[in-house]
Amino acid sequence: MQLYKIIYSMFGKLISHSWQMMRRSAFFEKSMFAKGFIAFMVFFAVMQLFGLGRVLPVILNENFPDRAPAEWVYGVLPLILIADITLRFFIQKFPARHVKPYLHMPVQRGQLTIYWMTRSWLHPMNIYLLFFFYPFIQMTINPATSSQEAGLLGIFLLTGVNHSLLMLIWSPGKSGKWLGMFLLFVLLLTGLSYLWIPDQMMKYSLDFFLAFVYLKPFAFLLPILLITILHLVIYKQIGKNYYEVYEAEEKTEKAAEESFIERIISNVPEYGPYWLLEWRLLTRNRRTRTSFYSYIPMAMVYVIFAALWIDEPAKTSLAIVYLIMASGMGGLHLQHVYSWESHFFDFLASRDFSFETFIRAKYYFYLLLSGIQLLLVIIILIFLNPQLLILMTALTVYAAGLGFYIYFRAGIRHSSRMDLQAKASFNMEGVSGMKLLIGILQFFILLPLFIVGFIIPVPFGESILIAVVGLSFIINHRSWIKKLGHRLEARKHINLSLYREK
Amino acid sequence: MNIHIRQLKKQYSGHTVLDIPELDIASGELLGIVGNNGAGKTTMLRLGLDLIEANEGHISIGDEKVNEGTHWKRHTGSFLDEGFLIGFLTPEEYFYFNGEVYGLSNAQVDEGLGIYKKFLSEDILGTDKYIRQLSTGNKQKVGIVAAMVVNPSVLMLDEPFNFLDPSSQIIIRNMIRNMNKNRGTTMLISSHNINHLADICSRVILLEKGLIIKDIRPDDTVRLEEVEAYFASQAG
């Protein structure tokens, strides 16, 4: 009993630290406006999911009357789970840094492991799907004959298996990873089976979900058993591999070698050294690397989704979401323009260094990336949905013109020293309310352009108008970059003092 | 409490970063570890705290091998780097939590902190700042005090003089000396600075590329000069 009390007390303390960590995160140090805006965006995202769950049955009924909406959605649960785990790969990491400060203390490692595993469950990725399924289940499951709550619990358990699977793969150590990879392979195989036997797969998936709502014990037992087994493996694996938390730091990083791409970049006339610096900044730091390598593939996945599913009336929302993708390099890099350099801004500021050339080189670098992204988009759309080609091209041009200009302009006032090794995804560190507002200007500007473009009697009017706006900024880039160079030079001392303060 | 090192070897990708066949640190000894960057000082301390795994051999604190039990942790205070701190706590909250895991009440922690009040400047206590908001030097102070305030029998500090202003360096030297003298705490202190260590340590080992190349008593001035000459020769 005494031992239980000690364990419980320490575990409770650790969990309370989790709460403090969240409550005292940098997010709450932002201005009221930024907090309000971010809270609104979260609320908006939740409402989007909620709304989708509410209207999807109606849409499916109208467009695919041969099957009930429930069959469509519950019939593709494995595919939903594959999409879910893919998303988790980018967003969810094993919370290793949470236990590091306790490792040298006289805290039982077993307790730490349990805390570690419990802590990993406190992640929005474990509930976001419920916001979609809650209304969808209400619309599709009859409460008189079955349990809606059980259906929701079933979804939670299934995504819980995904969570456990990912935690096993991300947790320190290798021994249990084979099990994780095997289960992942089984999940992917299940998804691929839809290509060969779609009707049977939909039936199996539907039957399995119905087993939840009809309260069949085996339906619950299966995911619970899987979650339990996976957690036991994780527990054992972590216990054996605590050293990895520190050893990862001790291991000498692979010696930096000049890669083929670096050799090409360094030979670019005039901008070579700047591009090489940008490339190394992006590829040699955790945070920049994660976003750099994930954004173009994410944009491509979205384009495929849009090409297959989005119809004419949904064009505006498509445009806004794609714009986030198209200017992804902006969202995750240019949003923090010059802030990545905040760690060596003193170096830049103390050398004979032209900020104008520096910004221009940076702009050309991201323009090139946008070009690569556009090329891939064009290839995808030629095969899947050529009708969207003009709009997508226009949006990419718009993002690379006006969008990038706005990010570069907002970046001048950047004042936070960014942590290049912090968690990459959805990290709003250093984004003040004003910067955020300036950053989203490009989305607000897009809406009137859509309206005007719709009114003018020219085919693809809105796309042409959007492209013209973007193109005008691309053509005039030398002029606005020159002004921004002067502004950054003039603000150099303020930024430097703010970097040092924070 | 004694510390014994036997056949200790640490390798990364086949490259040996620490190789100590035998080292005994007597109870109450104040051992300084000096060496250039990459000499293996931090690795040695991390192995001593069981934060990384030895490829061969072991370190014992008292009668317990550090990788086979955790009892030694109750008697060992340590601060190696910022990773030891919990950034979202205030210094007071951190001291209390740290005291709690060592079995001390808040009142005992407060009493202990009294000794270090001069060291913990006004910028640290009672400011309602989180640890992550403190300057590097002040973080260093919080970590060092947290390691000392639990009255450990063994204390391990990595580069404790770094980031500190000259006055604080003198205070911490006195703190270490007093703790060692009054409580008989066994101490392992690493530093780049031979003079700091020579001033307070009863023994200094010189690490180079993972090997102990000299083991000296600082009162032996001739041999201290030898160490300085060694570093001078390394500097070319």
Stretches where chain B sits below pLDDT 70 are: 218-224, 235-236
**Which residue range is the domain that position B118 belongs to?**
3-234
Residue contact B98–A105, C-beta within 8 A: yes
Please tell me what DSSP assigns to residue A401.
Answer: I
Q: pLDDT value at position A1?
A: 47
Spatial separation of the C-alpha atoms in residues A347 and B233, rounded to whole Å = 31
- Write out chain A residues lying below 8 Å of B78, CB-based: 104
Q: What is the CA radius of gyration of chain B?
A: 18
- Is A8's Cβ below 8 Å from some Cβ in B? no
Please tell me the total count of domains within chain B.
1
Measured between CB atoms, which of B49, B52, B85 is closest to A101? Answer: B85
Cβ-Cβ contacts under 8 Å, A112 against chain B: none
The pLDDT tens digits of the residues spanning A293-330 come to 777 777 787 777 777 766 555 556 666 666 665 555 45
Question: CB B51 to CB A103 under 8 A?
Answer: yes
Residue A366 one-letter amino acid: Y
Alpha-carbon gap, residue B85 to A104, rounded angstroms: 10
Helix axes A198-213, A217-240, angle to 10 degrees: 90
Residues of chain B with C-beta less than 8 angstroms from the C-beta of A104: 49, 51, 73, 78, 80, 84
How many residues belong to chain A? Answer: 502
Instruction: Choose among B70, B69, B5, B87: nearest CA to B43.
Output: B5
Which of chain B's residues have a Cβ under 8 Å away from the Cβ of A25?
A: 88
**Interatomic CA distance for residues B146 and B100, integer angstroms:** 11
The distance of B101 to chain A (nearest Cα, Å) reads: 6
Please tell me which of the candidates B78, B80, B88 has its beta carbon nearest to residue A21: B88
Task: Write down the pLDDT at residue A7.
Answer: 54
Check CB contact under 8 Å for B13 and A252.
yes
Give the chain A residue nearest B84 (alpha carbons): A101
Which chain B residues have a beta carbon less than 8 Å from that of A245? 51
Alpha-helical (H) ranges within B1-135 are: 41-48, 91-101, 106-115
pLDDT of residue A324: 63
Question: Which residue in this structure is represented by tokens 């905040």?
Answer: A342
User: By the CB < 8 Å criterion, does A105 face chain B?
Assistant: yes
| Residue numbers in chain A where pLDDT is lower than 70 | 1-8, 26-27, 29-31, 34, 248-257, 309-337, 422-439, 501-502
Residue range A26-37, pLDDT digits in tens: 667 666 776 777
Which of A25, A101, A246 has its CB closest to that of B52? Answer: A246
Chain B residues with at least one Cβ partner in A under 8 Å: 12-13, 15, 17, 43, 46, 49, 51-53, 70, 73-74, 78, 80, 83-86, 88-89, 97-98, 100-102, 130
**CA of A14: which chain B residue's CA is closest?**
B97
A99-117 residue pLDDT tens:
888 888 888 888 888 888 8
Tell me the CA end-to-end span of chain A in Å, nearest whole number: 47
Q: CB-based contact (8 Å) between A6 and chain B?
A: no
- Substitution target from A246, A254, A500 for chain B, most B beta carbons within 10 A: A246
Our separate counts of H helices and E strands in chain B read 7, 10
Q: Is the four-CA dihedral A124, A290, A369, A82 of positive or negative sign?
A: negative
For A405-431, the three-class secondary structure string (H helix, E strand, C coil) is HHHHHHHCCCCCCCCCCCCCCCCCCCC
The answer to whether A468 faces chain B, any CB pair under 8 Å, is no
Q: Where are the alpha helices (DSSP H) in chain B?
A: 41-48, 91-101, 106-115, 136-149, 166-183, 194-200, 221-234
- The CA distance from B223 to the nearest CA of chain A, in Å, is 32
CA distance, residue B147 to nearest chain A CA (Å): 10
Number of A to B CB contacts under 8 A, please give it: 57
Q: How far is CA A53 from CA A60, A70, A87, in A?
A: 11, 11, 19
Of A98, A217, A80, residue with least CA distance to A162: A80
Measured between beta carbons, the chain B residues lying within 8 angstroms of A10 are: 101
Closest Cα to residue A179, out of A234, A219, A222? Answer: A234
- CATH number for the domain harbouring residue B137: 3.40.50.300
